[in-house]
Amino acid sequence: MRTVGRLATWVLLATGVTLGINGCLATRSYVDEHDNELRAALTTRIDALERESKATRADLTAFTARVATAESRITQAQATADQAESRVEQAQGRADQAQNRADQAQAMAGQVQAKAEQVDAALERARANRFKRENVREIAVLFEASKAGLSRQALATLDRVVSTMAENPTYTLDIVGYPDASGSDRDNANLSWQRVEIVRRRLTERGVDMNRVYFIGTGEEAFKARTGRAKPDRQVVIHIFKPAD
């Protein structure tokens, strides 16, 4: 019995030791397995965090670029706005100048209108006294024998007539031609008309209104009747008249 008891004791001890060893082995394996699982989970989490960090940095970089682009656009927009404001100010200045010119033109138009009304009134008086005229002066335009061309002296004389007529809008004039001493009456009459016409054309081209011009070509007989002289002097005489008072 005693031997059996000892044997039982040893069996129990052996069993306990075996169970203890097995328990220790089982606990170590569990810890290792659990540690590996934790490591794997941590690695997975770290990888995910790194990916998120990279994505966040990429988003931040993109956002920074967008901010820089927006700031650049804002700067450009500000510059454009400044230019537009400058153009508006320039346009306003030009508008003010245009308004000033318009005001000046309006004032000048009023003056011109007043002057035109004065001229119209004077012309009305001239029309009323159309056949009541007073001689102001006579101006002779000389020609070469048998020619109807205007010399430099003749052109200068006609320019003075133009100035006189421009300065006196109520004046009218007659153009009377006197021919050469030689030649037939018919040729002299034609030459007188040619000279009268070239004088008339020169005056009207220089601004004298045709309505203010009377022109008459005469031959030798008319000259003799008018002057009492037998020798014509190859001239066109411009008779300038003003309305009678």
> pLDDT at position 20, please?
58
> pLDDT at position 225, please?
59
Q: Return the residue matching tokens 């069996």.
A: 11
Which one-letter amino acid corresponds to residue 27? Answer: T
Domain at 133-243: CATH architecture:
2-Layer Sandwich (3.30)
Confidence of residue 224 (pLDDT cuts 50, 70, 90): low
Sheet strands (E) in the chain: 133-142, 172-178, 213-217, 235-243
Q: What is the DSSP code (8-state) at residue 154?
A: H
- Sign (positive/negative) of CA torsion 188, 193, 194, 198? positive
Confidence of residue 24 (pLDDT cuts 50, 70, 90): low
Confidence of residue 122 (pLDDT cuts 50, 70, 90): low
Characterize 97-132 residue by residue with b for buried, 16 or more Cβ atoms within 10 angstroms of its Cβ, and e for exposed.
eeeeeeeeeeeeeeeeeeeeeeeeeebeebeeeeee
Strands 172-178 and 213-217, sheet pairing: parallel
> pLDDT at position 99, please?
93
Instruction: Give pLDDT tens digits for 208-222.
Output: 999 998 767 676 565
Confidence of residue 152 (pLDDT cuts 50, 70, 90): very high
What span, in angstroms and rounded, lies between the C-alpha atoms of 25 and 104? Answer: 116
**What's the mean pLDDT in 222-237?**
67
Where are the chain's structural domains?
1-97, 133-243
The three-point CA angle 27-28-31 to 5° equals: 85
Instruction: Give pLDDT tens digits for 162-196.
Output: 999 999 999 999 998 887 767 677 887 888 889 99
CA count, 13 A, side-chain hemisphere, 125: 13
Q: Are 178 and 239 in contact (CB under 8 A)?
A: no
Any bridge partners for residue 28, and if so which?
none
pTM: 0.45
